[in-house]
Copies of this chain bind each other. A is one copy, B any other.
Amino acid sequence: MTQGIATADLETILDAASSAAPAAAAAQPAERIRWLTAVADALDTAADDLVALAAEETHLPVTPRLRGELRRTTFQLRLFGQVIADGAYLGADIDHADLQWPMGPRPDIRRVQVPLGPVLVFAASNFPFAFSVAGGDTASALAAGCPVVLKAHPGHEQLSARTAHIVRAALLDAGAPEGLFAMISGVEAGVTALKDPRITAAAFTGSVAGGRALFDIAVARPTPIPFYGELGSINPVVVTPGAVADRGSDIAREYVASFTLGAGQFCTKPGILFLPEGHGLDEQLRQAVSSIPAQPLLNQRIATGYETRLGELRAAAAVDTVVAGARTDQLSFTPTLLAIPAKDFLVADPGLRQECFGPASLVVTYHDQAELHRALALLDPGLTATVHGEQEETGVVRALLAILNRQAGRLVWNEWPTGVTVSWAQHHGGPYPATTAPTTTSVGAAAIARFQRPVAWQGFPDALLPEALREGNPWGLPRRVDGERNS
């Protein structure tokens, strides 16, 4: 694989995606399910090869991490098959003509979701399967009926090329239109594609800086397009006095396990732990951190970035280094734990509140709930916010949830934010800078909605309506008819 693709090749790819769009939109639900299943099956079949390649390029452990991530990825493709089979994602609602409609006679109006058209997906570095070539953005766009042009992440080039080859072959074997999926590489090709009028939406997972730069391009186009960027998050975890008293040691151990998971390269890594003053967990935290072996980061760029950023954090006023991690080779680090009193955190450099990608986290000790609330109010919105507390601390916990509910896409109780299950009710998103599109999710069944737009049909005879809207409901869809659900 080269450092980019030729302009002529990009032109061919965009043209093919554009040409495939009408066929993809017109495909029956069973066809689209077959496409997704074929991709999942092909990836499962190639699992050993893919996992080995991924391990080589990303330095992530094969078990449980990479095997688990691939399982998640193929599960996700099949779950979107279930989303299609379920049919609610089409939002097929019908209002029959009604002369008595209170605002005046109503014509027959029927609405259904249609695919937006070709989607440009920017792959992430830290999840070489689940947020890369055949990851959630690709799966949900294909499920919606959109062709996908995938911009590979340079952090795992060979794996990307191999995965893309499998995806393309599986789709074509399953009868999908040529052009439904293609991969491009190189920053220039990505930006050129993002500006191209044939691209109708884009999705991205990565840093705030990178995501914002692409968002700015997407919205500055003569024809702006939806840009679904999942960016950064500090993921605060608040521990109440009651929780410290009841199970402080467990919390200390679990916190360290969570912020060092995957070498701290998760967008849901707990970046700040709020502990009450006098928590008495210093020794437990120190021991837990010291017990974690060195882990390699994804690549040189990330390793260098982490070391620089960590140096800034350690040098910040009033920051105490509880455990100083070490660089053990070109890529590898043992974890670092920092601490600061909340009173100093309140006046500290804003950089202290920003994500640090790698195995480090910051403990903020608070004097009382009022001080804690002030510190939480300083934080940018994020993907998650976690409370470890006791149900009996009703007032304290409710006050915290009232604050955190305004700041996060997912609230976690007595668990840890790392690990994002793929399910019907999942939400992975949040107000900016967690994402560039606060009303949407990039994980879970609802992710498909990002790549659809509604079309209303007014006054059509049954034979001219799309099948989803015909009176006899040939697809057996859940529909709202004349305002009544389940009709």
Q: Which residues of A contact B (CB under 8 A)?
A: 22, 68, 71-72, 75-76, 82, 86, 88, 91, 93-95, 101-104, 106-107, 109-111, 114, 116-117, 200, 215-216, 219-220, 223-226, 391, 397-398, 401-402, 405-406, 408-415, 421-433, 436-439, 441, 446, 449-450, 452-461, 463-464, 478, 480, 482-483, 485-486
Contacts and interface: CB of A to CB of B under 8 A. Distances in A.
A441 B454 contact: yes
Contacts of A88: 480, 485
A119 to B, nearest CB: 13
Contacts of A421: 95, 101, 103-104, 106-107, 109
B71 A104 contact: yes
A412 B455 contact: no
A103 B136 CA distance: 14
Given A459-B412, A459-B413, A459-B415, A425 B110 contact: yes
> Which of A101, A200, A414, A485 is the most central at the interface, judged by chain B CB atoms within 10 Å of its CB?
A485
> Which of A71, A72, A413 is the most central at the interface, judged by chain B CB atoms within 10 Å of its CB?
A413
> Which of A91, A223, A424, A483 is the most central at the interface, judged by chain B CB atoms within 10 Å of its CB?
A424
A223 B433 contact: yes
Contacts of A431: 116, 200, 223, 453
Contact of A103 (B225, B411, B414, B422): B422
A446 B449 CA distance: 13
A29 to B, nearest CB: 16
Given A215-B224, A459-B414, A102 B75 contact: yes
Given A421-B103, A458-B411, A426 B463 contact: no
A44 B111 CA distance: 30
Contact of A72 (B86, B93, B104, B398): B104
B446 A107 contact: no
Given A107-B415, A433-B223, A455 B439 contact: no
Contacts of A114: 405
Kindly list the 8 A-B residue pairs having the minimum CB-CB distance in the complex, ordered from nearest.
A427-B456, A93-B425, A75-B103, A427-B454, A410-B456, A219-B219, A95-B425, A95-B423
Given A71-B103, A219-B219, A224-B215, A458 B412 contact: yes
10 contacts: A91-B446, A109-B425, A200-B431, A398-B464, A411-B456, A412-B458, A413-B457, A424-B482, A427-B454, A431-B453
B104 A460 contact: no
Contact of A438 (B86, B116, B415): B116
Contacts of A411: 455-458, 460
Contacts of A226: 437-439
